[in-house]
Structure 1
């Protein structure tokens, strides 16, 4: 097993201390409202988000950020960081990516495997300073992927898997679903990831889109939901 693959496993692990498990990205409201109360409905919801949001916006942007970090184009990293933050339609979604980005910065600059690589900690801290402390999760995650020389297709596949695993586990808790149902969802949705990654890597920026009004409404309504387990 290669070291970059091991590093990727670390980046996508649920043990990564960035608080991803505390967010559902509006799924909890979809469960509460009756839109996602069965295994099939949750699968449909997540497949739509994976196809229309991650594959058409977040993954292409992540790919461009990895490329920018690898090529030394830090100005492009800043530009894409600003763009991603602006794309978060609700206060909860914006707070989520900023909190996770902040947590990952703190981890990486204290992690010898990243900190001791020549120049990388300084570049990361320069991004934080330039962005006024507002760094989105993809901007920081892509820095780790680039520094650890993870191949972009593997990095995007891992990122999509980590999102998917977190989303399914949120559904397991919120619906609730059984563990076997969660594994069926993961197995089925994971089959879609390779095609989405291929699409994302070829998608030019003018074609990027995260137009999902249902997701934005779910997130906005979650902000005033009376009883909730998750922060988004």
Structure 2
């Protein structure tokens, strides 16, 4: 693979997973807003622990595996549909289901600016990580690189949400991003070699927070 192609792939990943890409990720907190409300997360240290746990053992780990699995079957329509169905079924709450489905649809609609045959293979209801993994693979972007970029985007979104919720400042956010770089890289390497049996989470508090957010009256985020 040429250096020019690798540079092009990097630029596409940066574009697709940038906060400026029109997927609406800024509107979601994946239960963090409720965790702050319930004082499970009260400061930057708690925010870092929350995000680190999600990457290692929670929602972001499962999403990373789905990015990898979608890349592995990028040319197989039936298997992509099965993955999408499983991804939606594993959503831990109604809001989490809405989040991953809405982001997936928005991502695919925007990414069609980079034509590829995979858009005709993916189902209409496609969760976000399956969409990202399939499109990245269709453009010959390595799974580990796609997963690392996906995790960085997810952590960045969590940091942004934490700042807006008042539990961390800008400098705290940058420190958290720096601290989680190594973890994200390690998890990306592990997820790139993962299979269906590696799906699973152990973040009960996060799942409960997501469920409780559905009944929260005053809110900044949709999840």
| Alpha-carbon distance, 1:195 to partner | 1.0
Do residues 122 (structure 1) and 120 (structure 2) align? yes
| Alpha-carbon distance, 1:199 to partner | 1.6
| Alpha-carbon distance, 1:18 to partner | 0.6
Distance 1:13 1:56 in 2: 20
The alignment partner of 2:100 has SS state of helix
Distance 1:146 1:59 in 2: 14
2:56 matched to which residue of 1? 51
Do residues 105 (structure 1) and 103 (structure 2) align? no
Distance 2:135 2:195 in 1: 23
* Unmatched tracts of structure 2, length 5 or more: none
Larger displacement relative to structure 2 (49-58 or 220-229)? 49-58
| Alpha-carbon distance, 1:10 to partner | 0.8
| Alpha-carbon distance, 1:11 to partner | 1.3
2:182 matched to which residue of 1? 191
Do residues 77 (structure 1) and 112 (structure 2) align? no
Q: Runs in 1 of length 4+ with deviation above 4 angstroms?
A: none
Where does 1:57-68 land on structure 2 (aligned, <5 Å)?
A: 57-68=62-73
Larger displacement relative to structure 2 (43-52 or 195-204)? 195-204
1:172 matched to which residue of 2? 163
1:131 matched to which residue of 2? none
Give me the TM-score of the superposition, normalised by structure 1: 0.88
Distance 2:119 2:46 in 1: 43
> Which of 142, 149, 154 in structure 1 is aligned with 2:133?
142
Q: CA RMSD in A?
A: 1.5
Give me the TM-score of the superposition, normalised by structure 2: 0.92
| Alpha-carbon distance, 1:78 to partner | 0.9
